[in-house]
């Protein structure tokens, strides 16, 4: 999979893309991530990318031209263009699965007060990572890349994400490791019983119980 990220702040991605599982996936060429500064596409003599909003109001608005030209330059027949915005479709695990099947993603990170609405004419999907407003689309882009990359073939073992929360509409079961007792808190006995059928039953029941307790809305779906 190839992921192109259009941003004004490439430095924000350092660290996140250069550590742990994402770093390994990049090194092993399971994912190819490029950061593109769309300022480089500005036709303004001073490489301007934003301007004041028509009709007045606060802040600066990202101009359509630099982003439009950058997307047109990168876009191929199989590309999916994603715009990150708090007014997009709420991001969920199912979307991560669907996007992990794509060949090429172009992710546009907004900043400031927003973008010129006309950018939406070249966008396939508008995504929000939650009902709160961030300073820009960079952190949401990292969320997308992380959640999608871990689902790519060979990045982590298939079993690791088969049991993920949300996979079957339920939250994940609780896990424990050594020691067996910590400050008077014991590991549930069934987990040390060696009875795999009982363990499986316990985990399924826990998933149901925890989802009922914390996220009734998931069960209603």
Binding site for ligand ADE (CB under 6 A): 84-86, 110, 128-130, 132-134, 137, 140
| CA 181 to chain centroid | 36
Helix (H) or strand (E) holding 139: helix 138-149
Please identify every residue annotated as catalytic.
86, 113, 150, 164
- The encoded tokens of residue 40 equal 């480089």
CB of 20 to ligand ADE, least distance (A): 23
**Chain centroid to CA 203:** 27
Handedness of CA 154, 89, 122, 84 (dihedral sign): negative
Which residue, 88 or 169, has its beta carbon nearer to ligand ADE?
Answer: 88
Question: Residue 22 or residue 144: which is nearer to ligand ADE going by CB?
Answer: 144
Q: 25 vs 129, which CB is nearer to ligand ADE?
A: 129
| Neighbouring residues of 26: CB distance < 8 A, sequence distance ≥ 6 | 17, 32, 33
Q: Tell me the Cα Rg of the chain.
A: 22
Counted residue by residue, the chain has a size of 221
Supply the minimum distance, in Å, between the C-beta of residue 140 and ligand ADE.
4
User: In whole angstroms, what is the distance from residue 16 CA to residue 202 CA?
Assistant: 36
Q: Which CB, 7 or 128, lies closer to ligand ADE?
A: 128
- In whole angstroms, give the CA distance from residue 36 to residue 7: 6
SS3 content of the chain, % helix, strand, coil (to 5): 40, 20, 40
- Provide the minimum distance between the beta carbon of 145 and ligand ADE in the complex, in angstroms, as a whole number: 13
Looking at beta carbons only, is 96 or 155 nearer to ligand ADE?
96
């Amino acid at each position: 999979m190839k992921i192109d990220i259009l941003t004004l702040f490439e430095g924000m991605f350092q660290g996140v893309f250069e550590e742990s599982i994402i770093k390994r996936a990049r090194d092993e060429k399971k994912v190819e991530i490029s950061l593109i500064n769309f300022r480089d596409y500005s036709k303004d003599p001073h490489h301007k990318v934003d301007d004041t909003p028509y009709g007045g109001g606060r802040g600066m608005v990202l101009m359509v031209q630099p982003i439009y030209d950058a997307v047109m330059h990168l876009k191929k027949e199989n590309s999916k263009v994603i715009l990150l915005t708090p007014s997009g479709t709420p991001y969920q695990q199912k979307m991560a699965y669907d996007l992990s099947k794509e060949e090429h993603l172009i992710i546009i990170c907004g900043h400031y007060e927003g973008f010129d609405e006309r950018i939406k004419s070249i966008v396939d999907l508008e995504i929000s990572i939650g009902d709160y407003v961030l300073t820009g689309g960079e952190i949401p882009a990292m969320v997308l890349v992380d959640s999608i990359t871990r689902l790519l073939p060979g990045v982590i073992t298939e079993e690791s994400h088969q049991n993920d929360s949300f996979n079957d509409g339920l939250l994940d079961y609780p896990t424990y490791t050594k020691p067996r007792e910590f400050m008077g808190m014991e590991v549930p006995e069934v987990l040390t019983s060696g009875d795999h059928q009982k363990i499986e039953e316990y985990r399924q029941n826990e998933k149901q119980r925890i989802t009922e307790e914390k996220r009734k809305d998931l069960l209603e779906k």
